[in-house]
Structure 1
Amino acid sequence: MDGGQVQRLAAQCAEALPGTVLEHPFGPEWDVHKVRGKVFMLVTEVTGKPMVILKCAPDEAAALREQYAEITPGYHMNKKHWITLHGGDAIDHGLVEELVTDSYRLVVAGLPKARQPVDPRSYARRAGAGR
C-alpha cells in the first residue's frame, strides 16, 4: 500500500469513529483528527512523503518500529508515545485500521468518563481492533 493509500484509508477510519472532528490548526498541509478536543491522528506530507502520525502505547510502539520498517518514531511528537506510519509493502488495510482505532481508543481512555463517546475497553473489541 503506498503512502497516499495509507493516508486515505486512515482518514476514512478516523472519520467513522464516534465523536471525531477534522481540524487544520497548523495550516492546510496538516489534517488533525481529534476526539473531544484531543489529537489522536495527524496526516501530512510536509517532508515530501505521505505520513500518518498516531498515538501508541510505548511498548507497542517499540515493537511495531522493530517489526516494520514503515513505522518510525512520531514525527515532531513524543517518540515514546507516537508513531509515524509510511506506505510500504508490509502495510495492509487491517494494520492501518487497527493502528487508527488503537490511537483513538488510547486518547478516549484518557478523557473523563463523562466526555468519552464510547467505552474504550469494549470499543476496541467491537471494532475488531486490538491484538
Structure 2
Amino acid sequence: MNKQSVHDYLQSKPGTFLTQPFSQDSDVYKVQHKMFATLYEGKEGQLDENNEPVFWLNVKCDPDEALILRDKYESILPGYHMNKRLWNTIVLDGTVPEDEIKKFIDDSYQIVVDNLPTAQKEALANLS
C-alpha cells in the first residue's frame, strides 16, 4: 500500500478525522478525538522502487501481538515516537501485504473505539 491508499483506508473508518498537530508532514488520524494512527514520511533518503519517499504508519496494537508482528516482518518496528509496547510502526516499503496492513488499521481503530465511553460508541454506531 502507498501513502494515498493507506490514507483513503484510514479515512473510510466511521467518525475518522485528520489532524496535523505536530507538523504539515505528519498526519494524525483520530476517532472521537483519540488517535488511532499516524502517517508520515519515513527516514530521509528512503525511497521506494519508483523513487518516491517511503511512508511510515503507526498503529495501536495488542502488546503481545506487537512483538509477534515485529518478529514476523522486518519492516514492522516498535512505534516510532510512541509507546513501544502499545504501538507498531509499519514501513510502507511493499514487504507487508495489503490485507495485513488493513487488518492492523482495523485493529488499531477497534482498540480505540472499544475504550471510548458508551455515548461516544453509540454516536459512532449511528454513523455506520
Pick the TM interval, shorter chain: 0.7 to 0.9
Q: 1:23-34 alignment to 2 at 5 Å?
A: 23-34=19-30
Q: 1:65-76 alignment to 2 at 5 Å?
A: 65-76=70-81
Give the 4+ runs in structure 1 shifted more than 4 A.
Answer: none
Q: Structure 2 stretches of 5 or more lacking a match?
A: 45-53
| Identity within the alignment, % | 36
Q: 1:109 aligns with which of 97, 108, 114?
A: 114
The aligned counterpart of 1:62 is 67
In structure 1, C-alpha distance between the alignment counterparts of 2:94 and 2:34, rounded to whole Å: 31
In structure 2, C-alpha distance between the alignment counterparts of 1:68 and 1:25, rounded to whole Å: 30
- State whether residues 51 and 85 of structure 1, in contact with CA within 8 Å, keep that contact through their aligned partners in structure 2: yes
Provide the alpha-carbon RMSD of the alignment: 1.6
Q: What secondary structure, in the 3-state scheme, does the structure 1 residue paired with 2:23 have?
A: coil
- State whether residues 9 and 93 of structure 1, in contact with CA within 8 Å, keep that contact through their aligned partners in structure 2: no
Structure of larger gyration radius: 2
Q: TM-score, normalised by structure 1?
A: 0.81
In structure 2, C-alpha distance between the alignment counterparts of 1:9 and 1:113, rounded to whole Å: 31
Q: TM-score, normalised by structure 2?
A: 0.83
Q: Structure 1 stretches of 5 or more lacking a match?
A: 124-131
Q: 1:114-129 alignment to 2 at 5 Å?
A: 114-116=119-121, 117-118=124-125
Give the count of matched residue pairs: 115
The aligned counterpart of 2:85 is 80
